[in-house]
Copies of this chain bind each other. A is one copy, B any other.
Amino acid sequence: MGDVDTAPDAASRAREADAPRNSLVARLGADRPLKLDAGVELAPFQIAYKTYGRLNAERSNAVLICHALTGDHHVASVNPVTGKPGWWETMIGPGKPIDIERYFIICPNVLGGCMGTSGPASTNPKTGQPWGLEFPVITIRDMVRAQAMLLDELKIDTLFAVAGGSMGGMQVLQWAASFPKRVFSALPIACATRHSAQNIAFHEVGRQAVMADPEWRHGRYFAEDASPRRGLAVARMGAHITYLSDAALHRKFGRKFQDRENPTFSFDADFEVESYLRHQGSSFVERFDANSYLYLTRAMDYFDLGADCDGVIANAFRGAETRFCVVSFTSDWLFPTSESRAIVHALNASGARVSFAEIVTDKGHDAFLLEEPELFAIVRGFLDGAAKARGLKNGK
Protein backbone atom coordinates (compact mmCIF):
# COMPACT_ATOMS: atom_id res chain seq x y z
CA MET A 1 0.00 0.00 0.00
CA GLY A 2 2.84 2.33 -0.88
CA ASP A 3 0.65 5.07 -2.29
CA VAL A 4 -1.07 5.42 1.04
CA ASP A 5 1.83 7.68 1.90
CA THR A 6 0.61 10.26 -0.61
CA ALA A 7 -2.36 11.01 1.67
CA PRO A 8 -2.82 14.71 2.43
CA ASP A 9 -1.36 15.79 5.72
CA ALA A 10 -3.40 16.38 8.83
CA ALA A 11 -3.33 20.14 8.32
CA SER A 12 -4.94 20.02 4.87
CA ARG A 13 -7.64 17.65 6.09
CA ALA A 14 -8.34 19.96 9.00
CA ARG A 15 -8.66 22.89 6.59
CA GLU A 16 -11.31 21.03 4.56
CA ALA A 17 -13.18 20.21 7.79
CA ASP A 18 -13.29 23.88 8.84
CA ALA A 19 -13.28 25.74 5.54
CA PRO A 20 -14.59 23.39 2.87
CA ARG A 21 -13.93 24.35 -0.73
CA ASN A 22 -16.77 24.89 -3.21
CA SER A 23 -19.34 24.64 -0.44
CA LEU A 24 -21.95 26.72 1.28
CA VAL A 25 -21.56 26.82 5.05
CA ALA A 26 -24.33 27.47 7.58
CA ARG A 27 -23.21 28.44 11.07
CA LEU A 28 -25.82 27.22 13.50
CA GLY A 29 -26.57 26.72 17.14
CA ALA A 30 -25.51 30.11 18.48
CA ASP A 31 -29.06 30.98 19.57
CA ARG A 32 -30.40 27.43 19.89
CA PRO A 33 -28.01 24.57 20.58
CA LEU A 34 -28.28 21.17 18.94
CA LYS A 35 -29.45 18.75 21.63
CA LEU A 36 -27.80 15.40 21.03
CA ASP A 37 -29.01 11.92 21.96
CA ALA A 38 -25.86 11.55 24.05
CA GLY A 39 -27.36 14.16 26.39
CA VAL A 40 -25.03 17.00 25.55
CA GLU A 41 -25.53 20.19 23.56
CA LEU A 42 -23.49 21.17 20.55
CA ALA A 43 -23.13 24.89 19.86
CA PRO A 44 -21.98 26.50 17.79
CA PHE A 45 -21.63 24.08 14.91
CA GLN A 46 -21.58 24.31 11.15
CA ILE A 47 -23.06 22.45 8.22
CA ALA A 48 -21.38 22.41 4.81
CA TYR A 49 -23.80 21.88 1.97
CA LYS A 50 -24.39 22.20 -1.73
CA THR A 51 -27.51 23.25 -3.57
CA TYR A 52 -28.49 22.71 -7.19
CA GLY A 53 -31.44 24.21 -9.08
CA ARG A 54 -33.73 26.96 -7.76
CA LEU A 55 -36.15 27.09 -4.90
CA ASN A 56 -39.58 28.04 -6.28
CA ALA A 57 -41.63 30.96 -5.00
CA GLU A 58 -43.80 28.63 -2.91
CA ARG A 59 -40.63 27.10 -1.40
CA SER A 60 -42.23 23.73 -2.11
CA ASN A 61 -39.78 22.02 -4.46
CA ALA A 62 -36.85 21.29 -2.13
CA VAL A 63 -35.32 17.82 -2.25
CA LEU A 64 -32.95 16.84 0.53
CA ILE A 65 -30.28 14.31 -0.42
CA CYS A 66 -28.78 12.35 2.48
CA HIS A 67 -25.39 10.84 1.80
CA ALA A 68 -23.97 7.49 2.84
CA LEU A 69 -21.16 6.66 5.30
CA THR A 70 -18.25 7.78 3.15
CA GLY A 71 -20.15 10.18 0.90
CA ASP A 72 -20.31 13.94 1.17
CA HIS A 73 -22.31 16.93 -0.03
CA HIS A 74 -20.64 17.07 -3.45
CA VAL A 75 -23.47 15.02 -4.87
CA ALA A 76 -23.86 16.49 -8.35
CA SER A 77 -20.71 18.48 -9.02
CA VAL A 78 -16.97 17.91 -8.99
CA ASN A 79 -15.57 16.92 -5.59
CA PRO A 80 -12.86 19.46 -4.73
CA VAL A 81 -10.86 16.90 -2.75
CA THR A 82 -10.80 14.06 -5.27
CA GLY A 83 -11.40 15.98 -8.50
CA LYS A 84 -13.97 13.33 -9.39
CA PRO A 85 -17.60 13.86 -10.44
CA GLY A 86 -20.27 14.10 -7.75
CA TRP A 87 -21.23 10.74 -6.31
CA TRP A 88 -24.82 10.78 -7.66
CA GLU A 89 -24.42 12.69 -10.94
CA THR A 90 -26.14 9.80 -12.71
CA MET A 91 -29.24 10.50 -10.60
CA ILE A 92 -29.16 14.28 -10.15
CA GLY A 93 -28.79 16.89 -12.88
CA PRO A 94 -30.66 18.61 -15.70
CA GLY A 95 -33.20 16.14 -17.07
CA LYS A 96 -31.98 13.43 -14.70
CA PRO A 97 -34.40 11.46 -12.44
CA ILE A 98 -33.91 14.07 -9.72
CA ASP A 99 -34.13 16.96 -12.14
CA ILE A 100 -32.37 20.16 -11.08
CA GLU A 101 -34.46 22.09 -13.61
CA ARG A 102 -37.50 21.14 -11.58
CA TYR A 103 -36.37 20.62 -8.02
CA PHE A 104 -34.18 22.54 -5.61
CA ILE A 105 -31.60 20.06 -4.36
CA ILE A 106 -29.96 20.45 -0.97
CA CYS A 107 -27.22 18.07 0.08
CA PRO A 108 -25.52 18.62 3.44
CA ASN A 109 -22.41 16.93 4.73
CA VAL A 110 -23.55 14.90 7.76
CA LEU A 111 -22.85 15.81 11.34
CA GLY A 112 -19.68 13.94 12.30
CA GLY A 113 -18.39 14.11 8.73
CA CYS A 114 -15.04 15.53 7.67
CA MET A 115 -15.92 17.66 4.67
CA GLY A 116 -17.08 20.86 6.32
CA THR A 117 -19.83 19.93 8.73
CA SER A 118 -18.77 19.81 12.38
CA GLY A 119 -17.15 16.52 13.27
CA PRO A 120 -14.06 15.14 14.97
CA ALA A 121 -11.76 16.64 12.33
CA SER A 122 -13.18 20.15 12.87
CA THR A 123 -11.73 22.71 15.20
CA ASN A 124 -13.39 22.74 18.59
CA PRO A 125 -14.28 26.43 19.00
CA LYS A 126 -13.73 26.19 22.74
CA THR A 127 -10.13 24.98 22.48
CA GLY A 128 -8.94 25.99 19.03
CA GLN A 129 -7.77 22.38 18.60
CA PRO A 130 -9.32 19.59 16.51
CA TRP A 131 -12.14 17.91 18.38
CA GLY A 132 -10.80 14.37 17.93
CA LEU A 133 -12.51 12.05 20.39
CA GLU A 134 -13.74 15.05 22.39
CA PHE A 135 -16.44 15.38 19.77
CA PRO A 136 -19.66 13.90 21.19
CA VAL A 137 -20.76 10.55 19.81
CA ILE A 138 -23.70 11.24 17.53
CA THR A 139 -26.66 9.32 16.12
CA ILE A 140 -28.61 9.26 12.89
CA ARG A 141 -31.30 11.22 14.71
CA ASP A 142 -28.74 13.89 15.64
CA MET A 143 -27.76 14.18 11.97
CA VAL A 144 -31.39 14.71 11.05
CA ARG A 145 -31.93 17.24 13.85
CA ALA A 146 -28.96 19.23 12.53
CA GLN A 147 -30.35 19.07 8.99
CA ALA A 148 -33.71 20.33 10.24
CA MET A 149 -31.92 23.32 11.75
CA LEU A 150 -30.31 23.95 8.36
CA LEU A 151 -33.76 23.89 6.73
CA ASP A 152 -35.01 26.36 9.35
CA GLU A 153 -32.10 28.61 8.42
CA LEU A 154 -33.02 28.27 4.74
CA LYS A 155 -36.66 28.99 5.63
CA ILE A 156 -37.83 25.76 4.06
CA ASP A 157 -40.73 24.39 6.04
CA THR A 158 -41.60 21.26 4.10
CA LEU A 159 -39.35 19.14 1.91
CA PHE A 160 -40.86 17.91 -1.30
CA ALA A 161 -38.71 14.83 -0.96
CA VAL A 162 -35.92 13.28 1.09
CA ALA A 163 -33.82 10.65 -0.65
CA GLY A 164 -30.75 8.60 0.14
CA GLY A 165 -29.20 5.13 0.15
CA SER A 166 -27.55 3.11 2.94
CA MET A 167 -26.78 5.47 5.85
CA GLY A 168 -28.56 8.08 3.70
CA GLY A 169 -31.63 5.85 3.71
CA MET A 170 -31.47 5.63 7.49
CA GLN A 171 -31.60 9.43 7.61
CA VAL A 172 -34.59 9.38 5.24
CA LEU A 173 -36.46 7.03 7.59
CA GLN A 174 -35.48 9.14 10.59
CA TRP A 175 -36.69 12.29 8.84
CA ALA A 176 -40.10 10.71 8.25
CA ALA A 177 -40.22 9.54 11.87
CA SER A 178 -38.94 12.74 13.52
CA PHE A 179 -40.52 15.35 11.26
CA PRO A 180 -43.44 13.68 9.46
CA LYS A 181 -45.10 16.98 8.58
CA ARG A 182 -41.95 18.34 6.97
CA VAL A 183 -41.56 15.41 4.53
CA PHE A 184 -43.95 15.21 1.60
CA SER A 185 -42.27 12.18 0.07
CA ALA A 186 -39.44 9.87 1.09
CA LEU A 187 -37.12 7.58 -0.85
CA PRO A 188 -35.21 5.24 1.48
CA ILE A 189 -32.95 3.04 -0.65
CA ALA A 190 -30.94 -0.04 0.35
CA CYS A 191 -31.35 0.51 4.08
CA ALA A 192 -33.04 -0.83 7.21
CA THR A 193 -34.85 0.36 10.32
CA ARG A 194 -31.95 -0.90 12.46
CA HIS A 195 -28.40 -2.07 11.96
CA SER A 196 -28.04 -5.86 12.11
CA ALA A 197 -25.63 -7.77 14.34
CA GLN A 198 -23.56 -8.75 11.31
CA ASN A 199 -23.32 -5.15 10.15
CA ILE A 200 -22.32 -3.97 13.63
CA ALA A 201 -19.69 -6.72 13.58
CA PHE A 202 -18.22 -5.55 10.27
CA HIS A 203 -18.14 -1.97 11.53
CA GLU A 204 -16.43 -3.03 14.73
CA VAL A 205 -13.68 -4.76 12.75
CA GLY A 206 -13.14 -1.55 10.80
CA ARG A 207 -12.97 0.52 13.96
CA GLN A 208 -10.54 -1.92 15.55
CA ALA A 209 -8.36 -1.73 12.42
CA VAL A 210 -8.19 2.06 12.80
CA MET A 211 -7.64 1.98 16.55
CA ALA A 212 -4.99 -0.77 16.24
CA ASP A 213 -2.86 1.56 14.12
CA PRO A 214 -0.30 3.15 16.48
CA GLU A 215 -0.53 6.29 14.34
CA TRP A 216 -4.11 6.73 15.53
CA ARG A 217 -2.70 7.93 18.88
CA HIS A 218 -6.02 7.48 20.69
CA GLY A 219 -7.62 9.82 18.22
CA ARG A 220 -5.06 12.60 18.71
CA TYR A 221 -3.17 12.02 15.46
CA PHE A 222 -3.94 15.58 14.39
CA ALA A 223 -2.11 17.06 17.33
CA GLU A 224 0.82 14.73 16.83
CA ASP A 225 1.16 15.07 13.04
CA ALA A 226 0.47 11.38 12.61
CA SER A 227 -2.17 9.58 10.54
CA PRO A 228 -3.62 6.08 10.91
CA ARG A 229 -3.49 5.56 7.16
CA ARG A 230 -2.83 1.85 7.16
CA GLY A 231 -5.52 1.05 9.70
CA LEU A 232 -8.08 3.13 7.86
CA ALA A 233 -7.10 1.52 4.55
CA VAL A 234 -7.64 -1.95 6.03
CA ALA A 235 -11.02 -0.84 7.39
CA ARG A 236 -12.02 0.45 3.96
CA MET A 237 -10.87 -2.72 2.19
CA GLY A 238 -12.98 -4.89 4.46
CA ALA A 239 -16.00 -2.63 4.18
CA HIS A 240 -15.67 -2.41 0.42
CA ILE A 241 -16.17 -6.15 0.05
CA THR A 242 -19.50 -5.82 1.83
CA TYR A 243 -20.64 -3.15 -0.64
CA LEU A 244 -20.27 -5.53 -3.58
CA SER A 245 -21.45 -9.08 -4.13
CA ASP A 246 -19.89 -12.48 -4.64
CA ALA A 247 -21.34 -12.53 -8.16
CA ALA A 248 -20.08 -9.05 -9.06
CA LEU A 249 -16.59 -9.82 -7.78
CA HIS A 250 -16.62 -13.06 -9.75
CA ARG A 251 -17.80 -11.28 -12.89
CA LYS A 252 -15.33 -8.39 -12.58
CA PHE A 253 -12.27 -10.22 -11.33
CA GLY A 254 -12.79 -13.94 -10.95
CA ARG A 255 -9.38 -15.45 -10.31
CA LYS A 256 -7.60 -13.31 -12.90
CA PHE A 257 -3.98 -12.49 -12.20
CA GLN A 258 -2.80 -8.88 -12.19
CA ASP A 259 -0.26 -8.24 -14.99
CA ARG A 260 1.09 -11.77 -14.91
CA GLU A 261 0.42 -15.24 -16.25
CA ASN A 262 1.27 -17.28 -13.19
CA PRO A 263 1.29 -16.86 -9.44
CA THR A 264 4.42 -15.29 -7.99
CA PHE A 265 4.33 -17.48 -4.87
CA SER A 266 4.65 -14.39 -2.74
CA PHE A 267 2.44 -11.94 -0.85
CA ASP A 268 2.32 -9.48 -3.73
CA ALA A 269 -1.10 -8.61 -5.15
CA ASP A 270 -1.13 -11.55 -7.57
CA PHE A 271 -4.85 -11.41 -8.15
CA GLU A 272 -6.66 -8.47 -9.76
CA VAL A 273 -9.14 -8.43 -6.90
CA GLU A 274 -6.28 -7.87 -4.43
CA SER A 275 -4.88 -5.03 -6.45
CA TYR A 276 -8.33 -3.48 -6.75
CA LEU A 277 -8.93 -3.70 -3.01
CA ARG A 278 -5.54 -2.20 -2.15
CA HIS A 279 -6.38 0.71 -4.42
CA GLN A 280 -9.75 1.16 -2.70
CA GLY A 281 -7.96 1.32 0.64
CA SER A 282 -5.21 3.70 -0.38
CA SER A 283 -7.45 6.13 -2.29
CA PHE A 284 -9.95 6.27 0.57
CA VAL A 285 -7.42 7.48 3.12
CA GLU A 286 -6.58 10.39 0.84
CA ARG A 287 -10.05 11.81 1.26
CA PHE A 288 -11.43 10.65 4.58
CA ASP A 289 -10.76 11.26 8.25
CA ALA A 290 -10.18 8.23 10.43
CA ASN A 291 -12.06 9.58 13.45
CA SER A 292 -15.01 10.52 11.24
CA TYR A 293 -15.06 6.91 10.13
CA LEU A 294 -15.37 5.82 13.76
CA TYR A 295 -18.16 8.29 14.50
CA LEU A 296 -20.25 7.58 11.43
CA THR A 297 -20.03 3.80 11.70
CA ARG A 298 -21.03 4.16 15.35
CA ALA A 299 -24.05 6.27 14.42
CA MET A 300 -25.18 3.55 12.01
CA ASP A 301 -24.70 0.86 14.67
CA TYR A 302 -26.85 2.79 17.11
CA PHE A 303 -29.64 3.26 14.57
CA ASP A 304 -32.77 1.42 15.68
CA LEU A 305 -36.04 3.15 14.84
CA GLY A 306 -38.07 0.54 16.71
CA ALA A 307 -36.19 1.12 19.97
CA ASP A 308 -37.73 4.57 20.18
CA CYS A 309 -41.27 3.18 20.13
CA ASP A 310 -41.27 -0.04 22.15
CA GLY A 311 -40.05 -2.12 19.23
CA VAL A 312 -43.13 -1.43 17.11
CA ILE A 313 -41.62 0.25 14.08
CA ALA A 314 -45.05 1.06 12.70
CA ASN A 315 -45.50 3.46 15.62
CA ALA A 316 -42.51 5.44 14.36
CA PHE A 317 -44.56 6.36 11.30
CA ARG A 318 -48.02 6.54 12.89
CA GLY A 319 -50.12 9.29 11.33
CA ALA A 320 -47.51 10.18 8.74
CA GLU A 321 -48.88 11.53 5.48
CA THR A 322 -45.55 11.10 3.76
CA ARG A 323 -45.56 9.10 0.51
CA PHE A 324 -42.85 6.44 0.56
CA CYS A 325 -40.96 4.62 -2.15
CA VAL A 326 -38.75 1.86 -0.70
CA VAL A 327 -36.08 0.31 -2.93
CA SER A 328 -33.82 -2.70 -2.43
CA PHE A 329 -31.43 -4.73 -4.59
CA THR A 330 -31.46 -8.51 -4.92
CA SER A 331 -27.71 -8.95 -4.38
CA ASP A 332 -27.38 -6.49 -1.48
CA TRP A 333 -26.35 -8.65 1.47
CA LEU A 334 -25.53 -5.71 3.75
CA PHE A 335 -29.12 -4.44 3.62
CA PRO A 336 -30.97 -7.36 2.08
CA THR A 337 -34.48 -7.09 0.67
CA SER A 338 -35.87 -8.63 3.86
CA GLU A 339 -34.88 -5.41 5.66
CA SER A 340 -36.72 -3.29 3.11
CA ARG A 341 -39.75 -5.54 3.39
CA ALA A 342 -39.72 -4.91 7.14
CA ILE A 343 -39.84 -1.17 6.41
CA VAL A 344 -42.74 -1.70 4.01
CA HIS A 345 -44.64 -3.87 6.49
CA ALA A 346 -44.21 -1.23 9.20
CA LEU A 347 -45.38 1.50 6.83
CA ASN A 348 -48.38 -0.60 5.81
CA ALA A 349 -49.22 -1.20 9.45
CA SER A 350 -49.05 2.51 10.12
CA GLY A 351 -51.40 3.19 7.22
CA ALA A 352 -48.81 5.09 5.20
CA ARG A 353 -48.82 5.29 1.41
CA VAL A 354 -45.92 3.15 0.21
CA SER A 355 -44.60 1.61 -2.98
CA PHE A 356 -41.80 -0.91 -3.00
CA ALA A 357 -39.39 -2.12 -5.65
CA GLU A 358 -36.77 -4.81 -5.49
CA ILE A 359 -34.33 -4.36 -8.35
CA VAL A 360 -32.65 -7.41 -9.84
CA THR A 361 -28.91 -6.78 -10.09
CA ASP A 362 -25.66 -8.55 -9.20
CA LYS A 363 -23.98 -5.29 -8.16
CA GLY A 364 -24.67 -5.62 -4.43
CA HIS A 365 -25.23 -2.79 -1.98
CA ASP A 366 -23.36 -0.26 -4.12
CA ALA A 367 -25.98 -0.65 -6.86
CA PHE A 368 -27.69 2.50 -5.58
CA LEU A 369 -24.62 4.52 -6.66
CA LEU A 370 -24.22 2.85 -10.03
CA GLU A 371 -25.78 2.89 -13.47
CA GLU A 372 -29.08 1.15 -12.72
CA PRO A 373 -31.70 2.18 -15.31
CA GLU A 374 -34.51 0.54 -13.34
CA LEU A 375 -33.62 2.58 -10.25
CA PHE A 376 -33.57 5.75 -12.33
CA ALA A 377 -37.00 4.94 -13.80
CA ILE A 378 -38.46 4.20 -10.36
CA VAL A 379 -37.15 7.41 -8.81
CA ARG A 380 -38.30 9.49 -11.76
CA GLY A 381 -41.75 7.92 -11.76
CA PHE A 382 -42.19 8.23 -8.01
CA LEU A 383 -41.16 11.89 -7.96
CA ASP A 384 -43.36 12.66 -10.98
CA GLY A 385 -46.36 11.24 -9.16
CA ALA A 386 -45.48 13.05 -5.96
CA ALA A 387 -44.96 16.32 -7.88
CA LYS A 388 -48.46 16.06 -9.33
CA ALA A 389 -49.90 15.42 -5.88
CA ARG A 390 -47.89 18.34 -4.53
CA GLY A 391 -49.05 20.58 -7.36
CA LEU A 392 -45.53 21.30 -8.58
CA LYS A 393 -45.30 22.78 -12.08
CA ASN A 394 -43.35 20.91 -14.71
CA GLY A 395 -39.75 22.06 -14.93
CA LYS A 396 -38.09 25.43 -15.35
Contacts and interface: CB of A to CB of B under 8 A. Distances in A.
A24 interface: no
Contacts of A57: none
A96 to B, nearest CB: 32
A302 B252 CA distance: 18
B255 A195 contact: yes
A44 interface: no
A197 to B, nearest CB: 4
Contacts of A237: 201, 204-205, 208
A299 B209 CA distance: 24
A213 B1 CA distance: 13
A302 B264 CA distance: 10
Contact of A273 (B201, B211, B255, B263): B201
A208 B196 contact: no
A254 B307 CA distance: 13
Contacts of A253: 197
A265 B38 contact: yes
Contacts of A254: 197
A265 B37 contact: yes
Given A249-B196, A274-B200, A211 B267 contact: yes
A333 to B, nearest CB: 8
A69 interface: no
Contacts of A270: 301
Most B Cβ at <10 Å: residue of A230, A238, A254: A238
A215 to B, nearest CB: 9
Contact of A250 (B37, B198, B267): B198
Contacts of A304: 255
- State the oligomeric state as a number of copies: 2
Contacts of A207: 267
B208 A273 contact: no
Contacts of A212: 1, 209, 213, 230-231, 233-234
B249 A201 contact: yes
Contacts of A213: 212
A241 interface: yes
Interface in A152-209: 194-198, 200-202, 204-205, 207-209
Contact of A234 (B38, B205, B241): B205
A356 interface: no
A277 interface: yes
A214 interface: yes
Given A201-B273, A208-B234, A267 B294 contact: yes
A246 interface: yes
A285 B281 CA distance: 24
Interface in A240-267: 241, 244-246, 249-250, 252-255, 263, 265-267
Contacts of A1: 208, 212
5 cross-chain pairs, A with B, having the tightest CB-CB distances, nearest first: A212-B230, A38-B265, A197-B249, A137-B265, A204-B274
Interface of A: 1, 37-39, 133, 136-137, 194-198, 200-202, 204-205, 207-209, 211-214, 230-231, 233-234, 237-238, 241, 244-246, 249-250, 252-255, 263, 265-267, 269-271, 273-274, 277-278, 281, 294, 298, 301-302, 304, 307, 333, 336
Given A194-B255, A198-B249, A201-B273, 18 more contacts: A1-B208, A133-B267, A137-B265, A195-B255, A197-B249, A197-B252, A197-B253, A197-B254, A197-B271, A198-B244, A200-B273, A200-B274, A202-B238, A204-B274, A205-B277, A208-B233, A212-B231, A212-B233
17 contacts: A196-B246, A197-B246, A197-B252, A197-B255, A197-B273, A198-B249, A198-B250, A200-B255, A201-B273, A202-B241, A204-B274, A205-B241, A205-B277, A208-B230, A209-B209, A211-B267, A255-B307
